[in-house]
Amino acid sequence: MTGINPILYYNEQKKFPQIWRDYQAEVNALGRLNTQPQKDSPKEETDSISSIFDIIPTFRRIENVPGKVEHSDYIPAMGLVSLALLNAPEDWRDTKSAYAQIKAKMSGNPFTPAYDYKTAQHPFSFFRGTLLHKFVNPKTSPCPKFAKWLLKNDTTLMNTKLGDIVTKKFNITDKEIETKIQNINSTKENPSFVEARRFVTKSKFGELTARAMTRTTKIGTAVLGSLEAAHLIKEIADGENAIKSAAKSAVSLTSSIAGIGYGGALGAKLFGPTGSLVGMGLGAIVGNKIAKLMD
């Protein structure tokens, strides 16, 4: 009884059971409130809005920049901004092409794409149509030898050993078809055009994989890998578990590249330029969701 007023205890002890029941009722009421569905937090609402705008290429490239700056992850942040600026002209052309297709559809006018998207896929380029287009063209570059080296290596994952494995695995043959897309080294006097590839295989997944890899450049993959490596180094320096961080980075990089590649390939096959744009955005969303599963 130490610390309890004996007179108060004597006079109020009969009320203890009722006080206890009242206390339990309040606890239970609070418990029911905590189990009620919660509204989305401002961050979740922002993430949902961001996902909608992933179909806009430039926005998709920079949407993770604020988060990286917030966590002092400056090298990847600067890299993403640089990629967005570098690709702005080509992203704008892709957006205009999708708009032209939608406008033609709504007005009932025919739309003529650069080639038949349903049957073929043109190889993407890290430099074509970007701010470095003229620099990589040996005919207009101030460093023609370096430009030739860059141009030689500006190929896709389908032109790698991994591409050879996919070709053999799915028994893929391909045929090149003409497009209206100009090559980097094309000039008015000597115009040259990109050749799309028509992949022939009994496997629909194999064809889609070949298309996705034809849309994914080696240099682009290397650059994104370098930015992810910089992020990984910072996490480890901040005390994060090295193995867990490396696994997260690997999943994040792979899911992002695969999501955009497969999403864009499927969208382009079904709906042309508009499908390509929307498919890449949806693929990016799926890739980000998969990456967040590692958090």
The contacts of residue 173 (CB under 8 Å, 6+ apart) are 199, 200, 201
Q: What is the pLDDT confidence band of residue 118, given thresholds at 50, 70 and 90?
A: very high
pLDDT tens digits for 199-240?
999 999 999 999 999 999 999 999 999 999 999 999 999 999
At residue 57, the 3 state secondary structure works out as helix
* Mean pLDDT of all residues in 282-286: 92
Spell out the long-range contacts of 231-237 with Cβ–Cβ below 8 A and sequence spacing 24 or more. 231/68, 231/73, 231/75, 231/76, 234/72, 234/73, 234/75
Number of helices (H) and strands (E) in the chain: give both, helices first: 12, 2
CA 284 vs. chain centroid, Å, equals: 3
Check the CA dihedral 258-77-62-288 and report its sign.
Answer: positive
CB 170 within 8 A of CB 157: no
Res. 198: pLDDT tops 90: yes
pLDDT of residue 267: 97
Nearest of 128, 58, 22, 72 to residue 284 by alpha carbon: 58
CB 256 within 8 A of CB 294: no
Place of tokens 């979740």: 44
CA 12 vs. chain centroid, Å, equals: 67
Distance CA 81, CA 79 (A): 5
pLDDT tens digits for 32-68?
555 555 555 555 544 555 566 777 888 888 988 999 9
pLDDT tens digits for 70-83?
999 999 999 999 99
Rounded to two decimals, what is the model's pTM?
0.81
Distance CA 123, CA 58 (A): 20
Q: What is the pLDDT confidence band of residue 155, given thresholds at 50, 70 and 90?
A: very high
Place of tokens 């004996």: 6
The contacts of residue 169 (CB under 8 Å, 6+ apart) are 206
Q: What is the pLDDT confidence band of residue 159, given thresholds at 50, 70 and 90?
A: very high
Residue 94, token pair as written in the block: 């892709």
**How much is the mean pLDDT over the chain?**
87
Cα angle value 56/79/77 (rounded, 5°): 80
